[in-house]
Every structure is written in structure tokens, then in C-alpha cells.
Amino acid sequence: MQDDIRATTKTEGKAHRTTSQGQEVFIWEKPSVADGPVRGTILFVHGSSMASQPTFDLQVEGMPEASVMDWFASRGFNTWCFDCRGYGRSYKGEDVLATIANGADDAKAVSDYIIARGESGPLFAYGISSGALRAATFAERHPDRVSRLALDAMVWTGEGSPTLEQRRKKIDDWRGTVRRPVNQEFMWSIFTRDHPGTVHDSFAQPFIDQVLALDDSMPNGTYIDMCTRLPLVDPEKLEAATIVMRGEFDGIAGIDDLLAFFKRLPNADKEFAVMKGISHASFTQKNFLIAYQILHGFFTRPASDYRG
């Protein structure tokens, strides 16, 4: 299985629940199904416009590799994701704007739960888009909890981001409501706004259907944060080994902005990866296996014997 990039075992998930700031958070677990010792524990953090399971445990008939959780569980990793408050099966009251800071609080609460269940060692954390900001904020606040940090489709200052430039034109709308409606048309725009043709034909509609089965609206907190409050993360305070992943055609993650962020990361165990033929939603792209393999290489990198 290790030698076949597509080989994946479909595994049974386990639902859990905890609380963050007194409000319920839904957690989804898929443990390792590979022979041998567990290679690490991954915490996946979702973005602004979808809950966690469609993003990380996408179900496509006849294609178990569509689920990044199944793919990594097949390779010896315990995998976890969760719905930030405001999304999916977590608390969705009108008092939750679901800001980046709120998401970092939720990640901390979930990490508490995972550790209490006996997982050993710091976590590997992966976040995409605003989920990357959530994961980075969590790692900045709690450096003892994250040993390896993967930031995909992230923005730092927002410079060079045409998508954010367009969103700022609607900032009064975002500020005037707690939630915004989402539908098929909006979900398709995620795949077409940057570079039409990059999305996997077999993944797009199942992803959209699975997102909308959980939510018909999304909280505005991350949109407001990313349009008005950047930068939210200080790279010089990130102690974990870090990879910055950027799709070739990503309209949110400006490459010069990310390179400036990357240069300031203090841990020399770092990597900047440009993913050919990928736009914003890495795991639903035709080239999704490129993203998987880059992430796998980073999470299996041996420790440094010599530190200088």
C-alpha cells in the first residue's frame, strides 16, 4: 500500500463531541488501519465555507482516495477533524460569528479532547484557507501542541489576493449579518473563480452535495477577519516545523505574500511547496494526489540529528 499512491482503505469513522467556550463541537475520527505503529496524529482544520467532513472525508462512490482522512489512515496515521462552531454538526447559534480566534479556541478544545484520550506527542496540524489561519493561530498560542504545521491556501497580509479584493466590496454585507446563505451556485464558484478546469470531475458535485446537506448558510466571521484584520498570525512566533502549500492558480493566496511569511519562519525545518495545476481547494482538484504526497512527505520527514 505504501508504494501505491492511490491505494486506500475505506475506514469507519467515529463521532465525538466536546465543548469550546461552553458550546458544543463535533469531532470526527478515523484511526490508522495500517499494520505497525502509528506514525502520528493529524488534526485537519476546515475553511470558511464548508464543514469538516466534506472537506477531509469526502465520500465518492468507488474512489476511497477522495477522503484524505482515509488516505492517511491507510498509511499509518490517526486522523481527526472537527466542525468549528457555526458549522456542520457543531453549535450554530446566532451568537457565534466564527472568527479566526474562535476557530483557534475550538482547535485547542479538540486537542484537549484528543490528548485526554491517550494520543501521544504533539499533533500534526493541517489547515486550508481560513482553516490555515485557524491552525496557525492555534499553533502560535500553544506551541507545545503542534510539532508539524501545514498551511495550505493561506493568506498573511492579503496583498496580491484578487479574491479578497472582490470580497472587500461586500464588507458592509458581511458586517450587517451573522451568516450568509450558500447554495449550489456559490459552491460551484469556489471551483470556477480562479481557473476553471482544475476541479476533479468526480469530486465536485459530491463535495457540494455533502456540504449543503450540513449547512445552507455559513458564518461571516472569517470573511470579516480576512477582509479587515490581516495579518492575524506572526510567523516569527511559530515554533513548529512548517510547510506553506500554495496552488499554482490560487486566487486567495498571493505568492509574494506567502514567500514573505515563509522567510520569517524561525524553524529551519520548513518548506514552501507550489502545487502545479491546483487552484484553491487542493483536495478536490484533479491533481489532488500532488497535495497528498507533499503533505505525506512533510509529515514523515525524519527528525534532525544535527541542529547546529
Angle in degrees, 0-180, between the axes of helices 221-228 and 130-141, rounded to the nearest 10:
80
Averaged pLDDT for residues 223-245? 98
Question: What is the pLDDT, as a whole number, of residue 3?
Answer: 60
Averaged pLDDT for residues 9-25? 97
Question: What is the pLDDT, as a whole number, of residue 121?
Answer: 82
Residue 21's SS3 state is coil
CB 98 within 8 A of CB 25: no
What is the bridge-based pairing of β-strands 123-128 and 217-219? unpaired
Averaged pLDDT for residues 243-249? 98
Tell me which of 3-7, 19-23, 207-211, 274-278 is least confident.
Answer: 3-7
Q: Could you tell me how far CA 154 lies from the centroid of its own chain? A: 9
| Tens of pLDDT, residues 91-115 | 999 999 999 999 999 999 999 999 9
Question: What is the pLDDT, as a whole number, of residue 159?
Answer: 94
Helix residue ranges per DSSP H, the chain? 52-56, 68-73, 100-116, 130-141, 162-168, 171-176, 184-192, 204-212, 221-228, 255-263, 288-299
Tell me the backbone φ, ψ of residue 249, rounded to 5 degrees. Answer: -110, 20
Residue with cell 463531541: 17
Averaged pLDDT for residues 59-70? 98
For the chain, percent of residues with pLDDT exceeding 90: 94
Question: What is the pLDDT, as a whole number, of residue 1?
Answer: 43
How confident is the prediction for the chain on average, in pLDDT?
96
Question: b/e per residue, 102-126, with b = 16+ CB within 10 A?
Answer: bbbbbbbbbbebbeeeebeebbbbb
| pLDDT higher than 50, residue 27 | yes
CB 232 within 8 A of CB 137: yes
Q: Could you tell me how far CA 189 lies from the centroid of its own chain? A: 19
| pLDDT higher than 90, residue 304 | no
Instruction: Please give the C-alpha separations between residue 225 and each of 8, 174, 218, in angstroms, as whole numbers.
Output: 37, 10, 14
| Tens of pLDDT, residues 181-200 | 999 999 999 999 999 999 99
In this structure, whether the domain defined by 15-299 belongs to CATH 3.90.1150.10 is answered with no
Averaged pLDDT for residues 53-76? 98
Question: What is the pLDDT, as a whole number, of residue 61?
Answer: 97
| pLDDT higher than 80, residue 32 | yes
Reference 6, options 55, 70, 56; nearest CA is 70
Ordered by start, the domain boundaries in the chain are 15-299
Q: What is the 3-state secondary structure (H, E, C) of 32-74?
A: CCCCCCCCEEEEEECCCCCCHHHHHCCCCCCCHHHCHHHHHHC
Beta partners for 24?
Answer: 19
Single pTM value for the model:
0.97
Task: Give the confidence band of 243 by pLDDT, cuts at 50, 70, 90.
Answer: very high
